[in-house]
Structure 1
Amino acid sequence: MARIFGGDQTEGDTKRVGGTYGYMSPEYAMHGHFSMKSDVYSFGVLLLEIITDKKNSNYFADSPSLNLVGHVWELWNEDRAMEVVDSALGDSYSTDDILKYIQIGLLCVQEHATHRPTMATVISMFSNETTLPSPNQPAFIEKRVKKGDERSSSTEGTNSINGVTVTMIQAR
C-alpha cells in the first residue's frame, strides 16, 4: 500500500484495486479509496491472526462467522475472547495484556476509517496504560444463515436487497 502514496500524500483513489481481500480495508476493497488508515486495518487483521494463530479466511465450525475477524468479534461481545487465543502463547502474557491486544486489533478493523486509530496511536496503546475505547462492529463480518433461509450469508444489520445487476464487459 505504501508504494501507492506520493511523497506528501495522505490519501487517494485508484481504479485498480490490488492486494489480498482479507487484509484490505473496506473503503479500499469496495471503492478504491486508500488512506493512512487503510494500513491500520491490515495491521489489525494481522494482529488478530498472530494472537489466534489462525488465518482470517479460516472456517470456524463452532461460529456463525465466516472469518476470523467476525469470530473474534463474537467472542469479544460474549466476554469469551480468551477462547480464541493460541495455546502456544501459554503463560507468556497476562490475560489483561492479551485482552488489550485483542481490543487493539478490533479497534484497527473498524468499518469506518475515521473510527480506526492511527498507527502512532496504536503504538501508544501498546506502550501506555490507558483506558482503550470500546470497539464497534468491525467491517466484513459475514454470517452464515441456516440452510433453507433466503440468503446464504449476510452482513449483520446492514443488508440491502439489490434486484438489479449490471455487467459491462470491457477489454483490458
Structure 2
Amino acid sequence: MVRKNLTHGLVIILCSLLTAINFSFTIDQKPDLLIIGNDTLFLRSFPLEDLGFEVRPFRSSDIYVPNLDCLREYQATWKVIDKKLFLVEIAKDNPSHDKVDIIPFFEANHYNPIVINGLVFADWVTIELSTYPKNYGHWGCYDKARKKRKWKKTLAFEKGVVVYSRYRSDK
C-alpha cells in the first residue's frame, strides 16, 4: 500500500516538473523596429499580424527553414512621421534580408493601403504601448493588452495616429 502511494506521488511530481520545464523554454521572437526621431526601438508587438493576411510576406521553401527567433520569417520596420505611424519595409529574416514590395503585397491580400510619400500609413493600428521596466530582461515596447502587468503606457496609436506619447526622442 505504501509503495503504491509512493508511486502515485512520484508520477504526480514528475508530471508537474515536465509541465514546468515546458513553460520555461518559450522562444522570444525577433522584434519589429519602431523608429521615432533619431531613435530605433524594438517593437515586441506585431501590428502587421493584426491584419490576418492569408498571403504571407515570404513563403518557406524546402531549402530555407526559418530561425526559431523569427518564426514569422520577416521583420517589419515602422516609423513615426508627423504623429502618424508608417510601415517602411518588410525584410526577410535571412542573411540576404530580401525586401517585400509592400504595396503589391497588401493588394494581393485584398487590402488597399493608404500610401503617403511612398510609405504605407498604418491606419489599422490601434494599440497602447509600454516600455519594459529597467532590469526586466527585455528591452523595447509591447502591446499593453497582451500583458497582465499594469505598466504605464508610453505611446498610444488610434487608427495609426499618435494619441498619447510620453516618449521623448530628444534625450
Say whether the fold is shared (TM-score over 0.5): no
Higher helix proportion (structure 1 or 2):
1
Higher strand proportion (structure 1 or 2):
2
Per chain length, whose mean CA-contact separation is higher, i.e. which structure has more relative contact order (CA < 8 Å, sep 6+)?
1
**Structure of greater Rg:** 2
Q: Provide the TM-score with structure 1 as the length reference.
A: 0.30
